[in-house]
Amino acid sequence: FSHMGIFSLFLLRPLILAISSGLTFQSYEVRQEERTSMSLEPRKAVSAQDGFSLDFDLRIRYRDCFGYLFRFIDENLNHIDLVSNHNASQYSFSLGNPDGILAKVEIAVEHPYSWKHLSLRCSTDTVSLSIDGCRWVLPSAPLRLGTFNLFFGSVDHERYGVHDIPYFTLKNLVL
C-alpha cells in the first residue's frame, strides 16, 4: 500500500508542474483539428462598452513556427491580431475590419524564446500593445466597442477562422 501511495504521488507531480507553468498550445506537430484553441467566453461574447485591458505571459516554445497568438473579434467584425513570424523574433500586431487591414505594426522581439509579459489595451480611440514594458499603438483605430470574443491559438469562426498557430505557452491571463 505504501508503494502505491509513493507511485501515485510520483504520477501527480508532473501534472502539478504542468499546471503551474501555463497552458501549452499544440501547433504544427499535430493535425489541424487537434490544435489547441482557447476562447475566453465560448458560449457568449464579453461586453466592453468602455474598453478593456488584457494582460498575460507568453513564451514561444519552438523556432520556425508561424501563426496567430490571439485574435479579438468584435460584434462589427473588427479584429485585432497578434501573429508570430517564422523565427519568433518579430510579431505582427494589426487591426482590421471586413474590408481588410486598417493598421499594422511590426514588432522586433528580443530573446524570443523567453517568457514575455504582454498587455493589450483597447478603448474607443486607441489600441495598444506592450511587451515587457515597450508599447506600440495602432494608428487610426476608431472602434465601436460593444461585445467581443477573444481567442488564443486556433480559431473556429465563420469568417475569421485560423489554424496556423505557433507552439507556445500562455499563463497569468487577466482580463
| CA separation for the pair 42, 39 (Å, rounded) | 5
- Nearest alpha-carbon partner for 50 in 169, 160, 143: 143
pLDDT of residue 49: 72
pLDDT in tens, the chain (175 residues): 444 433 333 333 333 333 458 999 888 888 888 888 888 765 666 777 778 889 999 988 776 678 888 888 888 888 888 988 866 678 888 888 888 888 888 888 888 788 999 999 988 778 889 999 999 988 755 566 677 888 899 888 888 888 888 888 999 999 8
pLDDT of residue 44: 66
SS3 label, residue 141: coil
Per-residue cell: 19: 499546471
Beta strands in 5-146 (DSSP E): 23-25, 37-39, 46-47, 52-60, 67-74, 79-84, 90-97, 100-108, 116-122, 127-131, 134-138
Question: pTM of whole model > 0.85?
Answer: no
- Residue appearing with cell numbers 510520483: 10
